[in-house]
Amino acid sequence: MPKKLVWVFSKRYIAGETLEDGINAAKMLNNEGIDVTIDLLGEFITNLAQAEENKNKYLEIIERFSNEKIQGNFSLKPTMFGLLVDQKICYNLIREIVAKAADKDSFVRIDMEDSQCVDPELVLFRKLKSEFSGHVGLVVQAYLRRTLDDLTNLNNLPPNGHPLNFRLCKGIYIEPAHIAFKAFEEVQSHFLEDLEFMFKNNIYTAIATHDKYLVDEAYKLIEKYKVPKDMYEFQMLYGVTPELRNSIVANNHRMRVYVPFGNEWFGYCTRRLKENPKMASQIIKAIFIRG
């Protein structure tokens, strides 16, 4: 599909290409009583000059968002900092970003990427957690067969005064069947299994889903385990299922929206298309209805 047509689709799901676009979108959401997590788009870089440039951009983002008093934190993808090029350099760059966030009393979440990245990203998280306990979190993906074992192993980490803080999502990358569950209902089942484990073990949980069934089942688990409101939140992607998002906010649950922005929007949006091909119809409608 031509890039210009994908942009028609993209405008709904990313805040824009510039830092100012990200700030404006975050302020709009804050005004609706919604927190944000900010993501500069870009991943799987091929040279370390790009990694250094991306680090500097994140340092600027943290400075600006902190100065603007925006209610939110930050998400990043380790392959954007050379995870698959040089793991030591990647760690040092991300450590500098987390240190900046800690200095601002903020928080950085390490996004989980495809299966080749899981082990090095777990190592990265463990090292950062030992130094910046309350200022760094991780994403886990319910569709990976290994996730419950990973949660069990991570649960043995020393708390250092702060609970573990994980975002639980279904998972988006294309993986073979021996690595990831494939059936829709199977992924739902393991999402709830992972969520229950996290609640039972007092892990701060970001419930990242647009699936109404999972939202309703999460409500039941929250009630079952009497999870305090300061130990969980719901998360959604910018521009996706706003009606369901608003219903969660109306039910007095904390909501955080993942706000992506930047020039590297094309890869992000084509992954969304691969995850949900039905979205292609929205592009066609946009072309003919909105011109």
For the stretch 156-204, pLDDT in tens is 998 888 999 999 999 988 899 999 999 999 999 999 999 999 999 999 9
- Closest CA relative to residue 256, chosen from 236, 277, 284: 236
Q: Which of 111, 114, 150, 194 is catalytic?
A: 111
E strands present in 111-225: 136-141, 165-169, 204-208
Burial status of residue 177 (CB atoms within 10 A of its CB: 0-12, 13-18, 19 or more): exposed
Contact yes or no for 26/70 (Cβ under 8 A) = yes
Domains annotated for the chain, with CATH where assigned, are 18-262 (3.20.20.220)
Segment 252-268, tens digit of pLDDT: 999 999 999 998 888 77
What is the C-alpha to C-alpha distance for residues 242 and 100, in angstroms, rounded to an integer? Answer: 32
Catalytic residue among 167, 245, 256, 272: 167
Return the percentage of the chain with pLDDT > 70, whole number.
92
To the query of whether residue 167 is one of the catalytic residues in this protein, the response is yes
Distance CA(221)–CA(227), nearest Å, equals 8
For residue 226 the two structure tokens come to 């009497």
Q: Is 109 a catalytic residue?
A: no
Beta bridge partners of 13: none
Positions of the chain with pLDDT under 50: 291
Residue 151: half-sphere exposure toward Cβ, Cα within 13 Å? 28
Helix locations, 155-241, DSSP H: 184-200, 212-224
pTM above 0.95, yes or no: no
CB under 8 Å to 261, separation ≥6 — which residues?
14, 15, 16, 17, 18, 19, 21, 22, 25, 38, 39, 40, 41
Write down the pLDDT at residue 8.
74
Burial of 21 (0-12, 13-18, 19+ CB in 10 A): middle
